[in-house]
Amino acid sequence: MGAGRGRGDSPHSTPESAPVAVTQGRCHIVGAGLGGLACAVGLAAQGRPVSLYDAAGQAGGRCRSLFDQGLGRPIDNGNHLLLSANRATLGFLDTVGAGDSLVGPPEAAFPFLDLRSGERWTLRPNNGPLPWWILVSGRRVPGSRLGDYLSGLAILCAKERDTVTDRIAAEGPLWERFWEPLTVAALNTAPEEASARLLRAVVMETFARGAAACRPLIAKEGLSDSFVEPALAYLRVRGAEILFNWRLRALEDDGARITALDFGAERRTLGPSESLVLALPAPGAKAILPELEAPLDTRPIVNGHIRLPRPVSLPEAGPVLGLIGGTAQWLFLRGDVASLTVSAAEELAGLPNETVAARLWQDTAKALELDPAEMPPIRIIKEKRATFAQTPEAVAHRPGPGTRWRNAFLAGDWTDTGFPATIEGAIRSGQAAAKKLANH
Ligand SMILES: Cc1cc2nc3c(=O)[nH]c(=O)nc-3n(C[C@H](O)[C@H](O)[C@H](O)COP(=O)(O)OP(=O)(O)OC[C@H]3O[C@@H](n4cnc5c(N)ncnc54)[C@H](O)[C@@H]3O)c2cc1C
Give the pLDDT confidence of 102-139 residue by residue, as tens digits: 999 999 999 999 999 999 999 999 999 899 999 999 99
In a domain, 185, yes or no: yes
Q: What is the largest CA-CA distance in the chain?
A: 69
The pLDDT of 215-234, averaged and rounded, is 97
Nearest-CA residue for ligand 1 atom 4 is 80
**Residue 154 shares a structural domain with residue 259:** no
**Residue 34 shares a structural domain with residue 175:** no
pLDDT at 317: 77
The pLDDT of 224-248, averaged and rounded, is 98
Pairing of strands 408-410, 275-278: parallel
CA of 59 to the centre of ligand 1 (A): 10
Q: How confident is residue 355, by pLDDT bands cut at 50, 70 and 90? A: very high
> What distance in Å separates the CA atoms of residue 411 and residue 37, rounded to the nearest whole number?
10
| pLDDT tens readout for residues 363-380 | 999 999 999 999 999 999
- At residue 367, φ and ψ (nearest 5 deg) are -65, -35
- Among 216, 238, 260, give the residue marking a domain's end: 216
pLDDT at 440: 78
**Residue 203 shares a structural domain with residue 142:** yes
> Is residue 382 scored above 80 in pLDDT?
yes
Work out the mean pLDDT of the chain and round it to a whole number: 93
Return the ligand 1 atom nearest residue 38 CA.
25
Burial class (CB in 10 A: 0-12, 13-18, 19+), 43: buried
Q: How many distinct structural domains can be found in the chain?
A: 2
- Among 162, 197, 216, give the residue marking a domain's end: 216
CA of 100 to the centre of ligand 1 (A): 22
**Residue 235 shares a structural domain with residue 287:** yes
The pLDDT of 188-198, averaged and rounded, is 98
Q: How confident is residue 86, by pLDDT bands cut at 50, 70 and 90? A: very high
CA of 332 to the centre of ligand 1 (A): 20
In a domain, 195, yes or no: yes
Probe target for ligand 1 pocket from 51, 63, 424, with the most ligand atoms within 8 Å of CB: 63
pLDDT at 23: 42
pLDDT at 17: 37
**Residue 171 shares a structural domain with residue 140:** yes
Return the ligand 1 atom nearest residue 80 CA.
8
- Among 152, 186, 216, give the residue marking a domain's end: 216
| pLDDT tens readout for residues 251-297 | 999 999 999 999 999 999 999 999 999 999 999 999 999 999 999 99
pLDDT at 311: 85
Return the ligand 1 atom nearest residue 249 CA.
41
Q: Which helix (H) or strand (E) holds 90?
A: helix 87-95
> Is residue 210 scored above 80 in pLDDT?
yes
Nearest-CA residue for ligand 1 atom 18 is 422
**Residue 133 shares a structural domain with residue 202:** yes
**Residue 210 shares a structural domain with residue 158:** yes
> What distance in Å separates the CA atoms of residue 376 and residue 309, rounded to the nearest whole number?
7
Q: Which parts of 98-195 fold into alpha helices (H)?
A: 146-152, 164-167, 173-174, 180-187
In a domain, 92, yes or no: no
Give the end-to-end CA distance of the chain in Å, rounded to a whole number: 31
The pLDDT of 298-306, averaged and rounded, is 98
| pLDDT tens readout for residues 1-32 | 223 323 233 333 333 334 344 445 999 999 99
Number of helices (H) and strands (E) in the chain: give both, helices first. Answer: 14, 20
**Residue 196 shares a structural domain with residue 131:** yes
In a domain, 51, yes or no: yes
Probe target for ligand 1 pocket from 280, 302, 346, with the most ligand atoms within 8 Å of CB: 280
Query: What is the domain-level CATH number for residue 234?
Result: 3.50.50.60
Return the ligand 1 atom nearest residue 185 CA.
8
**Residue 212 shares a structural domain with residue 152:** yes
Probe target for ligand 1 pocket from 34, 37, 51, 62, with the most ligand atoms within 8 Å of CB: 62
The pLDDT of 42-62, averaged and rounded, is 98
**Residue 208 shares a structural domain with residue 273:** no
Return the ligand 1 atom nearest residue 86 CA.
11
In a domain, 309, yes or no: no
Share of the chain above pLDDT 70, in %: 95
In a domain, 355, yes or no: no
> What distance in Å separates the CA atoms of residue 432 and residue 96, rounded to the nearest whole number?
18
CA of 33 to the centre of ligand 1 (A): 5
pLDDT at 16: 37
Q: How confident is residue 351, by pLDDT bands cut at 50, 70 and 90? A: very high
Going by C-alpha positions, the residue among 48, 27, 50, 61 that lies closest to residue 426 is 61
pLDDT at 315: 81
Going by C-alpha positions, the residue among 259, 379, 285, 381 that lies closest to residue 33 is 285
In a domain, 317, yes or no: no
**Residue 37 shares a structural domain with residue 177:** no
Return the ligand 1 atom nearest residue 420 CA.
19
> Is residue 49 scored above 80 in pLDDT?
yes
In a domain, 12, yes or no: no
Instruction: Please state whether the predicted TM-score (pTM) of the whole model is above 0.85.
Output: yes
Range of the domain at 415: 27-62+223-296+392-439
Nearest-CA residue for ligand 1 atom 15 is 422
Q: How confident is residue 250, by pLDDT bands cut at 50, 70 and 90? A: very high
